[in-house]
A and B are shown apart, each in its own frame.
Chain A
Amino acid sequence: MTLTVDVRLTRGSFELNVDFDLQPGEIIAVLGPNGAGKSTLLRAIAGLEPIDSGFVAVDSIPVDRPDDDIFVPPAERAIGMVFQDYMLFEHLSVRENVAFGLRARRTNRRTARAVAERVLDELGIGHLTDRTPRSLSGGQAQRVALARAMATTPRVLLLDEPLAALDVATRREVRREIRRQLTAFDGATIIVTHDPIDAYALADRLLILEDGRITQTGTIGEVTSQPAGRYAAELVGRNLVSGTARGTMITTDQRVEISIADDHQGRVFASIRPQAITISRTRDPLASSRNSWPMRIKGLELLGERVRVDLTGPIDLVAEVTNRAIEALGLRVGDEVVASVKATDIEVYEQ
């Protein structure tokens, strides 16, 4: 086991109580609502927060075990961490930032700089070695932070909301970059995120943390097909479909065709917001026939002014419509309806 975590930690009225482990090369995404304790968990593993009971072990060696008075400070754990705001050292150049960890561990200056330059090259930002952190864009800073953490060849890599501060386009690009790096990384990686797309794109396994406890863990397929707990259910409620794209057409794994707005190629996820789905009694003969499917209402759930409609058909979808729409259409469980969604309302992500 590269990383074993079995900890209990109390801060005020919040209690973290988790138990999981990671194999070498494994990447897990920790998902959960705000305040679930995701960052606290990372900090405990890094050694920035001491745990109250239990233990954390890296490569089977305990680094924090209160019962035996064992506490290895962060500097001596083979752990690399990328912080949410990157925390690049502003008085050092990009190269010096990436070399920092090596030099702190007594590597001589020349070697450290050479390694730094190599790592930066691998991340595609070798041309930024002499720049100052302040002059970098969000995406560049993110990659420097990652390079800095990886330069010391840690056994465990912790990424805290790595893409949260970036805009959509940059996020996509950086996500690709991170995935490339992580695939080549032989240690274990934990990515904390509130965006499920990050999880789907980067991780092998999901770990859902709610109120300090793990409510579900498993592969993406496992979690989305059998969600346990409210957060998982809401994840699924976002309608995530897996398939293969060819240009502006996706063929799902169930052979359903979905039209999308932009060109994509290869394996993709298509995400459809429940609010973007329209329900009608019959197919409108004048409307385009794309992204329109006959469905049956499996369930109706009243949520204040809105209603959650569980639809089953060629693809299973969850839609959200107003109470009034339900009344106007006179919808009931078991009814046959037509669900449609515009191509422009579908978000596509490469797998």
Chain B
Amino acid sequence: MRRSLLALGTIGASFLLISCASDEQAVVLRVSAASSLTGAFDAIEAEFESENPGVDVQYNLASSSDLARQIIEGSTVDVFASADTRNMDKVSTAGFVDGGSDVFATNSLAIIVASGNPLGISGLADLADESIVFVTCDPAVPIGKYSQEVLTEAGVDAQADSLEENVKSIVAKVTSGEADAGIVYVTDVLAAGDAATGVMIPDELNVVAEYPIAPIAGSKNPDLARRFIEFLTSDAGTRILQRFGFGTGR
């Protein structure tokens, strides 16, 4: 009995030591970011961490609506990057934004189809075809709302077969072959590489998605949060965003 207590004690102490040690070594910056920012923000993290040794950037990637809800319900994050202003406004109205928000990137939409476009989809009008499995997101999710706007603008009544959780789910359904088409961000089509093909949406019909970012009230690292946001609008940051297909003018 004594021996096992001793062993447990040792293990417990070591865990404590390890966690204390890592705390001392790195400051953690928690960023909630829209899932469409996945690839770009991974590269951002690498750059930011190399410029700021001792900082560990941790991401929480999901649909902006999910993230907004989490913040309002009390999740402790330092920064929120949303794919639309609507969800940022929700968080701001609830009093969780520290100061104001800034738009740091823009995006536009494209149709994503299976690699090589086997069904020969040429535009939004083709999405009205019932035999095509078309998936989108619930309007509460930014891409869902943007898609609705684009389709209404184009006068197309597309029959969605499913409302996915976030834009990356749409990409996954198309690349795995379960769905024939979806409307996603241009950056997502780029990120998918060879696994999918994109079909352009004409500029006159397309939307400009604005990505606001803000530090969150109650953060333990407000200065670090601001530094992260500044990095995004710096030369180094905008270069990375552009590389992934985001627009960075205002």
Asked if A and B form a direct contact in the complex, defined as CB atoms under 8 angstroms apart, the reply is no
Partner-A contacts on B (CB < 8 A): none
Partner-B contacts on A (CB < 8 A): none
